[in-house]
Amino acid sequence: MTRLASPRTATERFATLPAIGGVGFKPQHFDDILADARGVGFFEIHAENYFGAGGPPHRRLATLRERFPLSIHGVGLSIGGAGPLDRDHLARLAALVKRYEPQSVSEHLAWSTHAGFGFPDLLPLPLTEETLDRVVDHIDETQDALGRPLLLENPSTYFRFVASTIPEVEFISRVARRTGCGLLLDVANVDVSATNHGFDPMSYIDAFPLDRVAEIHLAGRFETEDEAGHPLFVDAHGSPVADPVWRLYEAVVDRIGPVATLIERDDDIPAWDVLAAEAGRATTILEAARTGREAHADAA
């Protein structure tokens, strides 16, 4: 029997997380995780929380890494910044990646430092030919330092720049093509931005380079309004994933098949079983998609 070679999937090219539900690791869940993590296939950490030399953070992470696949998610490299990358920050990220050999390394299309000031936030940048070149340079430098592909995450935004000349999806596509990086599709961010700017989230997904998506993020948002009474969603990670985001997620999985999916929760952290159940919901959706695809393949 001969078979045509199938094109390599994003999971093979950019990251090797299992295509099931995962959870952002919080130290207070450590003992519960070791006792029972059924339905949870991987954990993600924020890289900067592990930039210390040793101690309990690394002891816990080493134990976790022995038992589960790991995603290292940077939140402070400032890839979208106008200035040069912080070499010390990059070196510490590279050392962490070397130490734990994670299945995925990701960062954001955002900036968080400027002229000697640091911001614990993911700040937006105008999308222009100038910023595109700079983001490409920064990702090239990062991937060289890490010796592996990075996943770049789509942002959540609250306003636009008059100066922007390139639509966000096109910007991300061109960055990915030029750098060879993979993509982390944050479905909750798509929904936040779509709500804040009044566009159709599915049209964003349709245009997104889905063949490069090697991980998905889901998270809760905080809902408020702007002065004009338009809905204003904030990417707050302090509540369960909202139902419209689950529906959007199902549409994405339907389109691209099973992809590793992380439940992000960084504020108002619930008990472990609550987060494990949310990851389990993602796992169920992914398994249904896998079964559906296999049935489709058998029929064909």
Q: Residue numbers of the site for another protein (CB under 8 A)?
A: 48-49, 51-59, 75-78, 81-83, 86, 89, 111-121, 123-126, 128, 130-131, 134, 158-163, 196-198, 224-228, 230, 232, 234
Q: φ, ψ for residue 107 (rounded to 5)?
A: -150, 180
Which residue number, 186 or 278, has a Cβ lying nearer to another protein?
186
Question: Minimal CA–CA distance to 39: which of 242, 284, 285?
Answer: 284
- CA-CA-CA-CA torsion for 71, 73, 77, 78, nearest 10 degrees? 130
Which residue number, 179 or 196, has a Cβ lying nearer to another protein?
196
Which residue number, 16 or 199, has a Cβ lying nearer to another protein?
199
* Smallest gap from residue 193 Cβ to another protein (A): 11
Which residue number, 12 or 121, has a Cβ lying nearer to another protein?
121
How would you classify the pairing of strands 111-114 and 117-123?
antiparallel
Partners of 185 in the β-ladder: 216
CA distance 25 to 100: 15
Residues 92, 51 contacting (CB under 8 angstroms): yes
Which residue number, 118 or 167, has a Cβ lying nearer to another protein?
118
Which residue number, 84 or 273, has a Cβ lying nearer to another protein?
84
Which residue number, 127 or 241, has a Cβ lying nearer to another protein?
127
* Smallest gap from residue 125 Cβ to another protein (A): 7
* Smallest gap from residue 190 Cβ to another protein (A): 16
* Smallest gap from residue 124 Cβ to another protein (A): 8
* Smallest gap from residue 100 Cβ to another protein (A): 15
| AA identity, residue 8 | R
Question: Minimal CA–CA distance to 156: which of 70, 83, 220?
Answer: 220
Which residues have a Cβ under 8 Å from the Cβ of 241 and sit 6 or more positions away? Answer: 188, 218, 219, 220, 249, 263, 278
- Residue 9: how many other CB atoms lie within 10 Å: 16
Partners of 156 in the β-ladder: none
CA distance 14 to 17: 10
* Smallest gap from residue 61 Cβ to another protein (A): 13
- CA-CA-CA-CA torsion for 32, 34, 35, 39, nearest 10 degrees? 90
Q: Which helix (H) or strand (E) holds 21?
A: strand 21-24
Which residue number, 11 or 142, has a Cβ lying nearer to another protein?
142
* Smallest gap from residue 196 Cβ to another protein (A): 7
- CA-CA-CA-CA torsion for 111, 115, 121, 125, nearest 10 degrees? -30
* Smallest gap from residue 287 Cβ to another protein (A): 36
Residues 264, 237 contacting (CB under 8 angstroms): yes
